[in-house]
């Protein structure tokens, strides 16, 4: 589930299915980060963004494995390449 007022909400909408198969996850956020997406089932943080004026976005999934078949993942890739 994406958080309001984030670029991920703009790209994916409120809920999106992702290929989450990591064995590690973020436990404690740094002071200058905010949650951008989380798994609604277990609360695992799936994406973070900077709260500063620094262009930073980190995701805990592999959109590059999906973007050939899912336009929203391609949009995320385009955002990272063109905006960050």
Going residue by residue through the chain (84 aa), what tens digit of pLDDT does each one get?
Answer: 888 888 888 888 877 666 666 677 888 899 999 999 988 888 888 899 999 887 888 888 777 777 777 777 788 888 888 887
Whole-number Å distance between alpha carbons of 38 and 59: 10
Domain count, the chain: 1
Report pTM. Answer: 0.78
Domain of residue 77 covers 7-83
Residue 1 in any domain: the answer is no
Quote the pLDDT of residue 22: 65
Residue 18 in any domain: the answer is yes
Quote the pLDDT of residue 35: 92
Quote the pLDDT of residue 33: 93
Residue 76 in any domain: the answer is yes
Whole-number Å distance between alpha carbons of 4 and 1: 10
Plot region of 35 (φ>0 → left; ψ -120 to 50 → alpha; else → beta): beta
Residue 2 in any domain: the answer is no
Quote the pLDDT of residue 19: 65
Residue 38 in any domain: the answer is yes
């Amino acid at each position: 589930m994406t958080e309001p007022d984030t670029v991920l909400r703009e790209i994916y909408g409120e809920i999106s299915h992702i290929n989450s198969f990591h064995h590690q996850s973020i436990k404690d956020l740094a002071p200058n980060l905010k949650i951008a997406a989380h798994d609604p089932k277990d609360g695992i943080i799936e994406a973070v963004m900077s709260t500063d004026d620094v262009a930073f976005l980190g995701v805990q999934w592999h959109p590059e494995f999906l973007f050939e078949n899912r336009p929203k993942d391609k949009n995320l890739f385009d955002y990272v390449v063109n905006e960050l």
